[in-house]
Homo-oligomer: A and B are copies of this chain.
Amino acid sequence: MIKRLFSTTMVKKVKAQEFLLKTPKGTKDWADKDMVIRESIFNKLSTIFKKHGGVTIDTPVFELREILTGKYGEDSKLIYNLEDQGGELTSLRYDLTVPFARFVACNNLSTIKRYHIAKVYRRDQPAMTKGRMREFYQCDFDIAGNYDVMVPDSEILNILCEGLVGLNITDFKVKLNHRKILDGIFEACGVPNADIRKVSSAIDKLDKSPWDVVKKEILEKGQSEEVADKIWTFVQHSGSIREIIQVLKNSGLDNKSASEGIKEMEILAEYVEAFDIQNYLSFDLSLARGLDYYTGLIYEAVTSASAPPKNASELKNKAIEKRKKGSSSQEGEGKQQEVEEEEDASAYVGVGSIAAGGRYDNLVGMFANNKSIPCVGISFGVERLFSIIKQRVDLSKLSPQHTDVYVMAFGGGEGWNGFLKERMQITNKLWKAGINAEYVYKAKANTRKQFDAAEKSGAKLAVILGKEEFPEGKIRIKLLGLGEENEGEVISVDDLIPSVKKELSNFDVYDVTALLDNNL
């Protein structure tokens, strides 16, 4: 972000001012080549969403404040409010999920698969380098409707994997957990019902903090040392879905909620194998997710964002190795275990999760007289995906401009008027034929300046009106970038459009999406 201290005395109406000329904290301008990359990410993901039957919607950037109240747990303090200027109290949306649930309820829908790509707002401490902003994009796909257990959930996981692989990100893993199992564990370990969400949000920090820090938080939140230690015997485990189901069954955990969750995970294991995505998944009992509204399966994709693609698989294998070690020892060994956890996390976390979501069966009901419309969804973090992908793109080949033809006039001397009107007419002809074209906005422009402008625009072809040639109905076409000696070709003005189209058809378009194209 460019900041500049600025002081000016305005002609006429503005007094001398002094303020920092910049975008608000935690926000940024998108421009230039970044926009090209971002648009290709949006295109790739929307193509996948459409492939799965998704339709798109667009909701207002602010909602009635009551709609957002009580949905985000401890993070509710991060909601941006609009000033009370009379009328309704409103707030900027915090995510796209609550507005989606409100939309489903408002329109009395019983089923919908929708995608939505838009900005959301959180008054968080920004960490720009890690892609944590106050204004940022989310790219969501959600399935609402009463369907069989884990069927839409497994399709969402499939979309998550397909999306990341489609963006050429293959060194990721998707951490899974189930709220019914997690809450069942807490219950079985002796956490009172009223404290479950508090303890859950402490456990969620295990990807960033070692166990002794998290344990301290659990004790501070009023649980006994014994309860905390019991929790640890569970949440340290991660591995394949079938492995962790076995761990849970061996643990002697006897809890109704957990048993339901385990049964659902068994079904999920079948379906992800049908989609052949099981190798991307890791059932991680420490995954909790902060949001209040999740009721079932939850997930989060992480990647070794900072590491170059080459040693990604090495890192992944190393991590899988560690995970295996972790899940084979039934109890953590204190210090040793903590260090491993930390290393593992730092290898994979970097910019934080790049996509996340889960099942939320009661959210629509909160807006629709408790009518049950179960939902499950995934949200891709665009800024984080962007920063990973930008490193992999050859920026020198990307142009934010799409100009193909530059129209110029060559002449000089007695009676030379610069052919401005003539350049306008010729350019207009090109535009009408659907050709991207520009010319210099000057009555008279010298040859050098016109070539410089053409080069800057990225144009492939020059169309040149010569002082002598043009009045005779002739015009010159010249490929750009071939040096001074290339004189091009003189053609009749009548042949302009077909000739230009023919020349342009020889060019390959450098397309970010092509670079990113990659199927599962």
Task: Give chain A's interface residues, CB within 8 Å of chain B.
Answer: 1-2, 4, 6-11, 13-14, 17, 19-25, 27-32, 35, 38-39, 50-64, 66-67, 70, 80-85, 87-88, 90, 92, 102-103, 105-108, 114, 119, 123, 135, 143, 145, 147-148, 151-152, 154-155, 158, 162, 270-271, 274-276, 292, 362, 365-370, 400-403, 420-422, 424-425, 428, 431-432, 434-438, 441-443, 457, 519-520
Asked if A60 and B151 sit within 8 Å, CB to CB, the answer is no
Q: Provide the residues of chain B in CB contact with A31, threshold 8 Å.
A: 55, 57-58, 103, 107, 114
What would 19 A/B residue contacts be, using CB atoms closer than 8 Å? A1-B106, A4-B105, A4-B106, A8-B368, A10-B362, A21-B102, A23-B59, A23-B63, A24-B63, A30-B58, A31-B55, A50-B401, A50-B402, A51-B435, A53-B457, A55-B400, A81-B85, A148-B420, A148-B441
Residue among B8, B90, B147, B434 making CB contact with A370, cutoff 8 Å = B8
Question: What's the minimum C-beta distance from A95 to chain B, rounded to whole angstroms?
Answer: 15
Question: What's the minimum C-beta distance from A408 to chain B, rounded to whole angstroms?
Answer: 14
Q: Provide the residues of chain B in CB contact with A119, threshold 8 Å.
A: 61
Complex-state Cα separation, A29 to B62, whole angstroms = 11
Asked if B57 and A30 sit within 8 Å, CB to CB, the answer is yes
Complex-state Cα separation, A17 to B20, whole angstroms = 44
Q: Provide the residues of chain B in CB contact with A35, threshold 8 Å.
A: 55-58
Asked if B55 and A519 sit within 8 Å, CB to CB, the answer is no
Q: Provide the residues of chain B in CB contact with A155, threshold 8 Å.
A: 441
Asked if A29 and B83 sit within 8 Å, CB to CB, the answer is no
Q: Provide the residues of chain B in CB contact with A81, threshold 8 Å.
A: 82-83, 85
Complex-state Cα separation, A367 to B59, whole angstroms = 33
Question: What's the minimum C-beta distance from A18 to chain B, rounded to whole angstroms?
Answer: 9
Asked if A55 and B83 sit within 8 Å, CB to CB, the answer is no
By CB atoms of chain B within 10 A, which of A23, A59, A362 has the most? A23
By CB atoms of chain B within 10 A, which of A6, A424, A443 has the most? A424
Asked if B274 and A59 sit within 8 Å, CB to CB, the answer is no
Asked if B85 and A123 sit within 8 Å, CB to CB, the answer is yes
Given A55-B32, A369-B8, the answer on whether A22 and B438 have CB atoms closer than 8 Å is: no
Asked if B61 and A135 sit within 8 Å, CB to CB, the answer is yes
Residue among B11, B19, B61, B435 making CB contact with A362, cutoff 8 Å = B11
